[in-house]
Structure 1
Amino acid sequence: QVENFKEMVHEGTYMLIFSILLSMTIILYFFRNNLNFYPKNIWLKRFAYIWIFQNSIMVISVALRTYYYIEQMGLAYKRIGVFIFLLLTLVGLYTLYQKISTQKSIYYLFRVNTWAVYLVLIVMGTIDWDTQIVKHNLIHYRKVQQIGVNFMVSRAVKTLPLIHQNRHQINPDGSWAEVPWYKDKEWLIDGRIRTFLAEQANYSWLSWNYADYKSKKYFTNVMHYPAHP
């Protein structure tokens, strides 16, 4: 069942990309230059609207598949990326509709969609995704069967205190098979913590940042980890 979700999400995303690019190319071709103002193009417009609506339904379908996929497989960067792509796709479809219905230019499409990408990237950059990923997978750890300890400890070091506090909830299956040198879950988590503390001991004040400082303070003062492994 999980593999079916994975295949459906990947297939749906690739088909969506192809369909959007194809529809935009064809629509832009038929509504180029003076054809955009041709008074007898009503049926051409209607077919274009139907195609845009069809692509919108496909966006919703892929979003639902991805949501259920995350429920089964856990949250990860590529799965977040799918939702960002779907959001930008909806913006692109809306601007395409506006171009046809209000007789906008191709420059309008380029300008609005470029701003949309720019603003979305800014907003996405303000979110602490590593922490959100770890929190989500810890909350849903009973459902998530494919996210193992190796994936969790490979997130940013600022998530290490959260992982340490909830280490009993981390699934020992899944990605453990990809770690041929592991001994057990505790050993892998402790090794990541000690490596982090050893790296911090060698850094100067030029490498200081608040996230690392908080993590280091947690392990040295609260958990009494030594600074070196």
Structure 2
Amino acid sequence: MPDCTNIILALSVAWRNYHYIAEYGLAYKRLGVLWFLILVVLGLYSLFAMIQQRRSLYYLWVINAWFLYASLLGSSMVNWDVLITRYNLNQAQHAKIDTLFLLREVSDKNLPLLLNEHELLLERSNSAPETVDKFLQLKIKAFERRTARQGWRGWNWADEVTRRAL
């Protein structure tokens, strides 16, 4: 059986991270902690399997490298900015929305969601409505400037969805 202390520590961090997300919403580093914890649990499992099956250290390196590769591949298929924004807006009934994080830190891929939920942003924001509107307009202008100077090689679907929403 894997080292129980490490499992208890991983569960403790997961529990605290869960409560932090429930209280303050999703953010990049909170998702990074979850990703790291998943890799830790998989690493502990592979260590246990290596010991049980009397495998070499090379086996441990290879299997953990595959876990890392699969997690990176899987994470590249998710639009994290939209996921973070959608989750935080859906949790707005329970807490204030950290609108400055959504407007300043998260990329402009979340603009369609922010524009659709503008009233909710103003109502549940932890900032003044004027500040929210100001930063929303700044984000729109920054998106328009960025997309105006990129050519056809810079085209991508997420920007097209955002452009159509404006």
By the TM > 0.5 criterion, same fold?
Answer: yes
Does residue 202 of structure 1 match 2:152?
no
1:215: which partner in 2? 162
Cα distance, 1:168 vs structure 2: 2.3
Letter in 1 for 2:44: L
Cα distance, 1:183 vs structure 2: 4.8
Superposed CA deviations along residues 120-171 of structure 1, whole A, max 9, x for unmatched, are: 11101111111000000000123344x5222112322221011011122234
Larger Rg: 1
- The gaps in structure 1 that reach 5 residues or longer are 1-48, 220-229
Picking from 67, 79, 100, the partner of 2:18 is 67
Superposed CA deviations along residues 34-69 of structure 1, whole A, max 9, x for unmatched, are: xxxxxxxxxxxxxxx4x6123222222221211111
Q: Percent identity?
A: 33
Does residue 149 of structure 1 match 2:99?
yes
Does the 8 Å CA contact 1:72/1:144 hold for their aligned counterparts?
A: yes
Structural RMSD (CA): 2.1
Equivalent runs, 1:4-15 vs 2, <5 Å: none
Q: Distance in 2 between matches of 1:167 and 1:153?
A: 12
Could you say what secondary structure the match of 1:186 adopts?
helix
Equivalent runs, 1:187-198 vs 2, <5 Å: 187-198=134-145
Equivalent runs, 1:79-118 vs 2, <5 Å: 79-118=30-69
Q: Distance in 1 between matches of 2:164 and 2:41?
A: 44
Cα distance, 1:95 vs structure 2: 1.4
Higher relative contact order (CA 8 A, sep 6+): 2
- The gaps in structure 2 that reach 5 residues or longer are none
